[in-house]
């Protein structure tokens, strides 16, 4: 099957490479010349475990290629995926301009009937707008599908090659038939295939992300109660997670959620609910608790250092989660900004995200070597749970810092190792040690 993928960012590129791996002929389309140049040279423009190896395979086989020309990508295609960004507007609504432009591009360049698969996260009823665009822009029949992605950054390749679910929403039986053929290599086994109407599919993606964010914020609110009472939030979460009705995933207290998806999707979901006549106040509370998680960490650092001005703080981790170089809405960078505003000297260290962090926050000092960054530091803060940071030599660190103080914003470290090395240890939602 010939497939066009419009937008080759974190979702589109993994989708394109996976479909090529399944044997389809795929053309990736993007308007960013630097990104296309990088891909045409055979290199992934961002870090995602396993992605470069997958690209090497499908580019070598000739099943995947890239272009900036819409006609080249869409001409003769059986289907086209829309995988463009939907950032939040100032009022919280999703900005769907890129989706609209992609839809019009398909309509203008289609050379026959085509199935359009909307993979970007969009508000419910976006399909109605797209149907209207197609009806006015082309005489070809365009069948529309909503098939939101459920990829986790840091595990996106694995999630795409071996998905646990595929969601397909459409009101057209022939579109459903094409989607089953497209994903035939992964159907069956442990992969659940949901075949629903198009509005259900659109709404389900926002509902999933909102509920996962709710679990994270619940854990962070719980951490505040645990710190006040002397309880251990990790043990409480383990007990909760042992109940199969709750589950342990996304119950880790810390600096809060970040990344491209959760922040914008909660705003968009709340906005669309309001537009439909329902005040989804719970979502506002989820966002409020998330902001409070960062504020609590700032306060913990202020309490530990007394005066933050002119103190050196090393942030371990700058990406919003391990396994990715993505720093969009990263809690670590928000913490860096807050500490800089308080007059601290902030230095960041991340295995993958240093370059992107500096682009996002010009002027931020970054180092490749955490020991170099720790020289003269008054406080070390664990911001992202990269496994590399759990294996640091804390005795060596103790010898090069000015003040042996560690704030563990992700409960990553082994308290015994840290305390025995001579550090004061301030975890999240757990009693401090060696103060």
Q: Which residues are catalytic?
A: 261
Strand partners, 274: none
CB 145 within 8 A of CB 117: yes
Q: What is the DSSP letter of 172?
A: -
Cα separation, 119 vs 205, in Å, equals 10
E strands, 79-209, where?
79-82, 114-118, 142-146, 165-169, 192-196
CB 3 within 8 A of CB 179: no
- Taking the mean position of all CA atoms in its chain, how far away is CA 245? 25
CB contact set of 338 (below 8 Å; sequence gap of 6+): 294, 298
Q: Which of 255, 234, 242 is nearest to 335 (CA)?
A: 255
- Encode 42-110 in three state secondary structure: CCCCCCCCCHHHHHHHHHHHCCEEEECCHHHHHCCCCEEEECCCCCECCCCCECCHHHHHHHHHHHHHC
CB 181 within 8 A of CB 154: no
Q: Is the sign of the CA dihedral 13, 9, 151, 149 positive or negative?
A: negative
Q: What is the DSSP letter of 340?
A: H
What is the three-class DSSP state of 116? strand
Tracing tokens 């002027």 back to the chain, one arrives at: 363
- Taking the mean position of all CA atoms in its chain, how far away is CA 137? 34
Tracing tokens 């463009």 back to the chain, one arrives at: 84
Angle, helices 331-341/281-305, rounded to nearest 10 degrees: 50
What tokens does 159 get?
């999630």
Cα separation, 203 vs 143, in Å, equals 19
Tracing tokens 């197609």 back to the chain, one arrives at: 134
């Amino acid at each position: 099957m010939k497939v066009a993928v419009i937008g080759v960012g974190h979702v589109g590129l993994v989708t394109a490479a996976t479909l090529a791996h399944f044997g389809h002929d795929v053309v990736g389309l993007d308007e960013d010349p630097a990104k296309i140049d990088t891909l045409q040279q055979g290199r992934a423009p961002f870090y995602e475990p396993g992605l470069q190896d997958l690209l090497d395979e499908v580019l070598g086989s000739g099943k995947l290629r890239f272009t900036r020309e819409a006609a080249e990508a869409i001409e003769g295609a059986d289907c086209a995926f829309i995988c463009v960004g939907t950032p939040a507007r100032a009022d919280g609504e999703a900005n769907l301009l890129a989706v609209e432009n992609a839809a019009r591009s398909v309509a203008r360049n289609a050379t026959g009937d085509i199935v359009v698969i909307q993979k970007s996260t969009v508000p419910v009823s976006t399909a109605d707008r797209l149907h209207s665009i197609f009806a006015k822009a082309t005489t070809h029949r365009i069948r529309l599908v909503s098939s939101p992605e459920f990829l986790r950054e840091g595990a996106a390749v694995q999630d795409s090659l071996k998905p646990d679910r595929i969601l397909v929403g459409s009101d057209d039986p022939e579109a459903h038939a094409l989607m089953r053929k497209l994903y035939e290599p992964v159907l069956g086994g442990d992969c659940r295939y949901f075949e629903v109407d198009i509005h259900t599919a659109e709404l389900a993606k926002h509902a999933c992300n909102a509920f996962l964010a709710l679990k994270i914020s619940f854990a962070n609110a719980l951490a505040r109660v645990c710190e006040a009472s002397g309880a251990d939030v990790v043990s409480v979460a383990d007990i909760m997670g042992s109940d199969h009705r709750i589950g342990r995933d996304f119950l880790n207290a810390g600096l809060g959620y970040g990344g491209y998806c959760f922040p914008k999707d909660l705003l968009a979901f709340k906005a669309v609910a309001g537009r439909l006549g329902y005040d989804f106040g719970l979502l506002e509370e989820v966002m409020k608790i998330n902001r409070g998680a960062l504020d609590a960490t700032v306060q913990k650092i202020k309490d530990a250092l007394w005066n933050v001005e002119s103190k050196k703080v090393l942030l371990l981790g700058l990406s919003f989660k391990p396994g990715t170089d993505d720093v969009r809405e990263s809690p670590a960078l928000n913490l860096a900004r807050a500490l800089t505003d308080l007059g601290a000297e902030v230095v960041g260290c991340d295995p993958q995200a240093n370059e992107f962090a500096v682009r996002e926050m010009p002027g931020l000092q970054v180092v490749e070597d955490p020991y170099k960054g720790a020289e003269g530091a008054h406080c070390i803060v664990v911001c992202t749970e990269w496994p590399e940071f759990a294996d640091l030599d804390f005795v060596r660190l103790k010898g090069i810092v000015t003040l042996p103080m560690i704030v563990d914003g992700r409960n990553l470290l082994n308290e015994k190792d840290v305390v025995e090395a001579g550090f004061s240890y301030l975890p999240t939602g757990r009693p401090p040690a060696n103060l």
